[in-house]
Chains A and B, each alone.
Chain A
Amino acid sequence: MSMNKHDIQHKQAFDEPLWWGLFSAGGVCFAVLLPAVILFIAVLLPLGLLPAEALSYERASSLLFSVPGFLFVGAAVCLPLFHAAHRLRHGMFDISVGNDALNKKLMYGGAALLSALALGLVVAGFFS
């Protein structure tokens, strides 16, 4: 019995549901949340089109370094990062760049690291 070969061929992908779940949740955040986030923070704010105190240093700190701020970063940074990681990993396979096993570690690992950094910054701000 070539049970080993059989097992390898039929290896269950226990991790893929996790990546796909994060990808999907991140996709929803990217689509529903990010248009407003980018518009207000990356376009209107630097163009000076927001009221002066809207995102002053004090107000921005109190908004971001809070429990709602923590949840906001989870939805607007962490989940979209995993969404991006998933699409980049599959995109690299689509154009035959690198190998999937390594790309997987790099992409999801990178998303996890940056997510930890983002949430860590909120926690650090909360306690400072």
Chain B
Amino acid sequence: MNKSTSQRLPPLKRNWWLKHRFFKLYMLREATVLPLVFFILCFLAGMVALLQGAESWQGWIAFMGSPIVLLLNLLALAASLFHAATFFVLFPRVMPLRIAGHSLPDKAIVAGQWAGVVAVALLFFWLLGRGGV
């Protein structure tokens, strides 16, 4: 291609996203990974504790129950749901599904993904919610 000769503006300042509600919501969406990383680090610690023995495992459960950790993990739960709400609507736009030559309505794809969330929660309830095996 030709060498570009057109004028360039300096890049945006780092506070560009504070200037519009839409961009703040975008940044909030991107920031959902921060509490996610916190939860994953907790989970990794739990795996180490489980490997170390029963006492460590009980200690880890107590650690998970401490107010700040619990609060941050509740935030992670909220973040995962907000992420889901923003992510599911993108899916039909990135990969429009076609069945028998007709494109599937966006709402059906979004609803299907929420059904997946509920199904996983039910699986967890079946696995963990009913007491011993």
Contact check: which of A33, A34, A64, A118 meets B50 at CB < 8 Å? A64
Whether A60 and B64, one on each chain, are in contact in the complex, defined by CB atoms closer than 8 angstroms, is: no
Within 8 A of B (CB), among A25-60: 27-28, 30-48, 50-55, 57, 59-60
Flag whether A96 is at the interface (Cβ < 8 A): yes
* Chain B residue, CB-CB nearest to A84: B33
Grouping DSSP codes into helix (H, G, I), strand (E, B) and loop, the B interface class, with mixed when no group exceeds half, is: helix
Q: Which residues of A contact B117 (CB under 8 A)?
A: 31-32, 35-36
Flag whether A121 is at the interface (Cβ < 8 A): yes
| B121 CB, nearest partner CB in chain A, Å | 4
**Assembled-state Cα–Cα distance A63/B124 (Å):** 12
Q: Which residues of A contact B77 (CB under 8 A)?
A: 35, 38-39, 42-43
Within 8 A of A (CB), among B53-93: 53-54, 57-58, 61-62, 64-65, 69-70, 73-74, 76-77, 80-81, 83-84, 87-88
Q: Which residues of B contact A99 (CB under 8 A)?
A: none
Flag whether A95 is at the interface (Cβ < 8 A): yes
Interface size on A, residues (CB 8 A): 58
Flag whether B97 is at the interface (Cβ < 8 A): no
Whether B64 and A87, one on each chain, are in contact in the complex, defined by CB atoms closer than 8 angstroms, is: no
- Given A57-B58, A60-B57, A81-B40: A33 and B17 interface contact (C-beta under 8 Å): no
Flag whether A128 is at the interface (Cβ < 8 A): yes
Flag whether A117 is at the interface (Cβ < 8 A): yes
B residues at A contact (CB < 8 Å): 1, 11, 13-14, 17, 27, 30-33, 36-37, 39-40, 42-44, 46-48, 50-51, 53-54, 57-58, 61-62, 64-65, 69-70, 73-74, 76-77, 80-81, 83-84, 87-88, 113, 116-117, 120-121, 123-124, 127-133
A residues at B contact (CB < 8 Å): 9, 27-28, 30-48, 50-55, 57, 59-61, 63-65, 73, 76-77, 80-81, 83-84, 87-88, 90-91, 94-97, 114, 117-118, 121-122, 124-125, 128
